[in-house]
Amino acid sequence: MANECLFCKIAAGEIPAKIVFKDDQVLAFEDSNPQAPFHVLIIPRQHLSTLNDLKTEDRALAGHLIFCAAQIAQVNGHAQDGYRTVFNCNHGAGQSVFHIHLHLLAGRSMTWPPG
């Protein structure tokens, strides 16, 4: 756990969040400022600041985040209509919390390109 990392604190249960899924590797919880009717963040329990910090040994974990997003979308009834998954990496992409998180957005039509 990284000191003063918001998402490490959520993973540790020190800050409350509306959890939608958890296992030994990842945690998924509702975004507190949702950008769609359904907006969940999937995070690794392990602290990694950005995608740039992924190491060879993290490949399975990165894949698991995506697999969990698909499962959560399915379970919550969004697979058929569709959903968007987003990793923002660093300031230029709008990353504001520096603990890797996969956004899962659903429940409305999405536009492209993103802003």
CB 60 within 8 A of CB 98: no
Site for Zn ion contains 97 (CB under 5 A): no
Binding partner of residue 5 among Zn ion, ligand 5GP, none, CB cut-off 5 to 8 Å per kind? Zn ion
Amino acid at 51: L
Q: How far is the CB of 101 from ligand 5GP (least distance, A)?
A: 6
Closer to ligand 5GP by Cβ: residue 41 or 106 = 41
Beta bridge partners of 102: 42
Active site residue 78: no
Looking at 78, 99, 101, 103, which residue is catalytic?
A: 101
CA distance 18 to 58: 26
Burial state string for 84-98 with b = 16 or more CB within 10 A and e = fewer than 16: beebbeeeeeebeeb
Closer to Zn ion by Cβ: residue 46 or 85 = 46
Q: How far is the CB of 104 from ligand 5GP (least distance, A)?
A: 11
Binding partner of residue 29 among Zn ion, ligand 5GP, none, CB cut-off 5 to 8 Å per kind? ligand 5GP
CB 106 within 8 A of CB 76: yes
Site for Zn ion contains 101 (CB under 5 A): no
Residues with catalytic roles = 101
